[in-house]
């Protein structure tokens, strides 16, 4: 990838609300060049979407935790992907990744408090077919 395209990506990663004019000015390239590079990266799938960074504490969801989960392979009738998609639909779950190592899934959760986290783990997550055991790590401080 060319330096200017990488530079444009960096600008968009830092602030996806930048206008085309602002991006072109920051990169020191013509407006049409910036437009064409962005369109090309979108077409190639380099830029998949634009997102918003949320301040979860202002939504009352200041508790962040990561849950590592093992999948039962002996009795599993579903793939890891199917189980991950089911977990992603649970309350307070923000993302699910399939991982290697001692666990199979890494689940990112946002909740209001320990009580909500407890309910998610004991009443919802552990009742998902195919989930064996879980280990939860609570985030003490997020560094962005």
How crowded is the C-beta side of 19, counted as CA atoms within 13 Å? 4
Tally of domains in the chain: 2
Domain of residue 29, CATH code = 1.10.10.10
Range of the domain at 10: 3-43
Contact 93, 87 (CB under 8 A): yes
Compute CA 122 distance to the chain's CA centroid, rounded to the nearest angstrom: 23
* Residues whose CB falls within 8 Å of the CB of residue 68, separated by 6 or more in sequence, listed in order: 99, 102, 103, 105, 106, 107, 134, 135, 136, 137
Q: Residue 49 corresponds to which tokens in the numbers above?
A: 């979407």
Domain of residue 98, CATH code = 3.30.70.920
Q: What pLDDT is stored for residue 76 in this prediction?
A: 58
Q: Are residues 82 and 119 in the same domain?
A: yes
Instruction: State the average pLDDT over residues 103-114.
Output: 97
Q: What pLDDT is stored for residue 115 in this prediction?
A: 96
The answer as to whether 65 is a domain residue is: yes
Q: Is the pLDDT of residue 1 over 60?
A: no
Q: What pLDDT is stored for residue 117 in this prediction?
A: 96
Instruction: State the average pLDDT over residues 117-144.
Output: 93
């Amino acid at each position: 990838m060319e330096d200017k395209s990488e530079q444009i990506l960096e600008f968009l990663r830092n602030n996806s609300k930048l206008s085309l004019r602002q991006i072109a000015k920051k990169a020191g390239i013509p407006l049409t060049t910036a437009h064409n590079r962005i369109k090309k990266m979108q077409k190639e799938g380099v830029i998949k979407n634009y997102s918003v960074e949320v301040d979860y504490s202002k939504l009352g969801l200041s508790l962040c935790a990561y849950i590592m989960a093992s999948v039962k392979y002996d009795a599993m009738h579903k793939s890891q992907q199917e189980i991950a998609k089911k977990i992603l639909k649970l309350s307070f779950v923000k993302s699910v990744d399939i991982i290697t190592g001692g666990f199979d899934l890494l689940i990112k959760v946002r909740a209001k408090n320990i009580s909500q986290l407890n309910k998610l783990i004991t009443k919802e997550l552990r009742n998902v077919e195919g989930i064996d055991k879980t280990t939860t790590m609570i985030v003490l401080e997020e560094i962005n």
